[in-house]
């Protein structure tokens, strides 16, 4: 520990800059509460400057061939990799995410730049024989300036990966970093400033109000890609609608069920559920398998296996490669997660392990919460229904398949779901009936490059990580040649 990263300005029009207010947000290491650096507390005026810079750069960027844009995206990917160690140390210190697993984040961000760089020729239009003599076809065109707003759980990965599709489609970008854990946004900015023409990527930091809100409301921003909570997603839809017609896509929260059928290998199912909880990010994953719904015949065994695995997790310094879980991200989030744990107790769920602050002296400072498991959770309990976005699993028991599916669907969310059974008919019928954007059968891995990731219901709108993400950053124009 003991890192300090100094002041980390924003990137606007190729120039690193403080906020117009000259105010800063101090970032703390969630493992120690030590101050580790500052990012500008951006203003509406800064957002205006960033959007202007992006608008100025956009025609030149769009005039480049797909091959030229692809080459620059690949260069940015190489830039991420070249700085991987610096990014990792800063990100682990600023977020509390454990460094061993965090390594993949830089690679994933670089990988998405390379993946979308290869998809330029897929931005195809159609030719339609609307008349016998004419020529009728569609073109895909960029929106212009795109806003991308990212959350605190994987700031570098989301910021880096989310540049790829809009840029490849010929848009320029204004990216907003999260107010807790903003520091790695500056390293991303350094790579962009080295590789891309000024104004193609602009990075603004600060609070949702005013920075995110000003970006959403800006009349020259017609396309907004948001990753974050349901409440902010709803606020963004409202704010966007108040200023102009905008295409908003939303990647929001989840309360993701993993269903264990009576024929399943319970040990494998529990291993997948605990791994899918992403304790390496203290459960702060939209896709965390936070609800384990188990058939009554396997229930007692599943509870015991989960308890044993979760209780054995090694909490420790996020920079120590042997640590399996760090603290939660911020003081505010610590209070929020602890209040959910209290609700679990008060509403009658059975605490199986964890449930508070770890006792040892090593965790006296920082936002540490024990990995926690509740059993006997019913869908009407808060811990069985609401996204906690923390290291808290809820286990519930069911008797019939109908009951299991009803339980799985009994939340406002629909992001990911897991199904454990060897009966192909049960697996596929259940997969079809679960209200969820992504379903894994006999596993809990949900991200595969080239397949869409995204939610239904209040978990979001619009798939990402696949061709449809690229196409969603284009709009169609129909051209009719009348002969």
152 binding ligand NAD? (CB under 6 A) = yes
Q: Smallest gap, in angstroms, from Cβ of residue 156 to ligand NAD?
A: 13
251 binding ligand NAD? (CB under 6 A) = yes
- 91, 179, 251, 469: which is the annotated catalytic residue? 251
Nearer to ligand NAD by C-beta: 212 or 257?
212
Nearer to ligand NAD by C-beta: 329 or 421?
329
Q: Smallest gap, in angstroms, from Cβ of residue 248 to ligand NAD?
A: 11
94 binding ligand NAD? (CB under 6 A) = no
Nearer to ligand NAD by C-beta: 283 or 379?
283
Instruction: Please give the structure tokens belonging to residue 169.
Output: 């489609």
Q: Smallest gap, in angstroms, from Cβ of residue 88 to ligand NAD?
A: 19
Nearer to ligand NAD by C-beta: 37 or 208?
208
Using H for helix, E for strand and C for coil, what is the string for the chain?
A: CCCCCCECCEEECCEEECCCCCCEEEEECCCCCCEEEEEECCCHHHHHHHHHHHHHHHHHHHHCCHHHHHHHHHHHHHHHHHCHHHHHHHHHHHHCCCHHHHHHHHHHHHHHHHHHHCCHHHCCCCECCCCCCCEEEEEEEECCEEEEECCCCCHHHHHHHHHHHHHHCCCEEEEECCCCCCCHHHHHHHHHHHHCCCCCEEEECCCHHHHHHHHHHCCCEEEEEEECCHHHHHHHHHHHHHHCCCEEEEECCCCCEEEECCCCCHHHHHHHHHHHCCHHHCCCCCCCCCEEEEECCCHHHHHHHHHHHHHCCCECCCCCCCCCECCCCCHHHHHHHHHHHHHHHHCCCEEEECCCCCCCHHHCCCCCCCCEEEECCCCCCHHHHCCCCCCEEEEEEECCHHHHHHHHCCCCCCCEEEEECCCHHHHHHHHHHCCCCEEEECCCCCCCCCCCECCCHHHEECCECCHHHHHHCEEEEEEEECC
The DSSP bridge partners found for residue 146 are 173, 223
End-to-end CA separation in angstroms for the chain: 72
Q: Catalytic: 192?
A: no
Nearer to ligand NAD by C-beta: 317 or 464?
464
Nearer to ligand NAD by C-beta: 258 or 286?
286
462 binding ligand NAD? (CB under 6 A) = no
Binding-site member from 460, 463, 466, 470 for ligand NAD (CB under 6 A): 460
46 binding ligand NAD? (CB under 6 A) = no
Q: Smallest gap, in angstroms, from Cβ of residue 460 to ligand NAD?
A: 6
430 binding ligand NAD? (CB under 6 A) = no
Residues within window 359-418 making contact with ligand NAD, judged by CB under 6 A: 387, 389, 415
- Which region among 55-63, 113-121, 221-229, 438-446 touches ligand NAD (by CB under 6 A)? 221-229
24 binding ligand NAD? (CB under 6 A) = no
240 binding ligand NAD? (CB under 6 A) = no
Q: Are 161 and 109 in contact (CB under 8 A)?
A: yes
The DSSP bridge partners found for residue 271 are none
Query: Binding string, 252-281, against ligand NAD, x = CB under 6 A?
Result: xxx---------------------------
Q: Catalytic: 33?
A: no
**C-alpha radius of gyration, the chain, whole number:** 23
Nearest Cα neighbor of 289 from 271, 304, 307, 302 is: 271
Residues within window 177-216 making contact with ligand NAD, judged by CB under 6 A: 178-179, 207-209, 212-213, 216
- Which region among 56-64, 175-183, 257-265, 373-381 touches ligand NAD (by CB under 6 A)? 175-183
Nearer to ligand NAD by C-beta: 54 or 235?
235
Q: Smallest gap, in angstroms, from Cβ of residue 70 to ligand NAD?
A: 25
- 179, 286, 464, 465: which is the annotated catalytic residue? 286
228 binding ligand NAD? (CB under 6 A) = yes
What amino acid positions are annotated as catalytic residues?
251, 286
List contacts with ligand NAD (CB under 6 A).
Answer: 149-153, 176, 178-179, 207-209, 212-213, 216, 227-229, 232, 235-236, 251-254, 286, 387, 389, 415, 455, 460
């Amino acid at each position: 520990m003991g890192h300090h990263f100094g002041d980390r300005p924003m990137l606007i029009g190729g120039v690193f800059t403080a906020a117009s207010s000259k105010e800063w947000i101090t970032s703390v290491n969630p493992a120690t509460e030590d101050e580790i650096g500052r990012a500008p507390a951006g203003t509406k005026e800064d957002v205006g400057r960033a959007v202007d810079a992006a608008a100025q750069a956009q025609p030149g960027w769009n005039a480049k061939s797909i091959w030229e844009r692809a080459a620059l995206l690949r260069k940015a990917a190489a830039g991420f990799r070249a700085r991987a160690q610096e990014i990792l140390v800063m990100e682990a210190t600023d977020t509390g995410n454990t460094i061993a697993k965090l390594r993949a984040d830089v690679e994933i961000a670089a990988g998405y730049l390379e993946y979308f760089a290869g998809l330029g020729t897929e931005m195809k239009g159609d030719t339609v024989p609307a008349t016998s003599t004419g020529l009728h076809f569609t073109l895909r065109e960029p929106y212009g300036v795109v806003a991308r707003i990212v959350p605190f759980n994987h700031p570098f990965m989301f910021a880096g990966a989310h540049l790829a599709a809009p840029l490849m489609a010929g848009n320029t970008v204004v990216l907003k970093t999260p107010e807790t854990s903003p520091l790695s946004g500056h390293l991303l900015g350094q790579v962009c400033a080295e590789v891309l023409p000024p104004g193609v990527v602009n990075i603004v930091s600060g609070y949702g109000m005013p920075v995110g809100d000003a970006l959403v409301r800006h009349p020259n921003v017609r396309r907004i890609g948001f990753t974050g909570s349901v409440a902010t997603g709803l606020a963004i839809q409202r704010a966007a609608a108040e200023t102009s017609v905008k295409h908003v896509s939303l990647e929001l929260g989840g309360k993701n069920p993993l269903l264990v059928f009576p024929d399943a290998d319970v040990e494998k199912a529990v291993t997948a559920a605990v791994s899918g909880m992403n304790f390496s990010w203290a459960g702060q994953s939209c896709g965390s398998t936070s609800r384990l719904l188990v058939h009554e015949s396997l229930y007692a065994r599943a509870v015991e296996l989960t308890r044993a695995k979760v209780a054995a997790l090694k909490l420790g310094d996020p920079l120590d490669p042997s640590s399996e879980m760090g603290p939660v991200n911020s003081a505010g989030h610590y209070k929020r997660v602890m209040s959910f744990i209290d609700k679990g107790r008060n509403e009658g769920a059975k605490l199986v392990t964890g449930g508070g602050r770890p006792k040892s002296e090593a965790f006296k400072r920082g936002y540490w919460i024990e990995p926690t498991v509740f059993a006997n959770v019913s869908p009407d309990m808060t811990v069985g229904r609401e996204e906690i976005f923390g290291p808290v699993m809820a286990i519930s028991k069911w008797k019939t398949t109908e009951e299991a599916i009803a339980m799985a669907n009994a939340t406002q969310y629909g992001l990911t779901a897991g199904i454990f059974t060897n009966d192909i008919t049960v697996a596929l019928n259940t997969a079809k009936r679960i209200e969820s954007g992504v379903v894994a059968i006999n596993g809990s891995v949900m991200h595969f490059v080239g397949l869409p990731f995204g939610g239904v219901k209040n978990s979001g709108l619009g798939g990402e990580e696949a061709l449809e993400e690229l196409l969603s950053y284009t709009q169609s124009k129909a051209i009719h040649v009348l002969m």
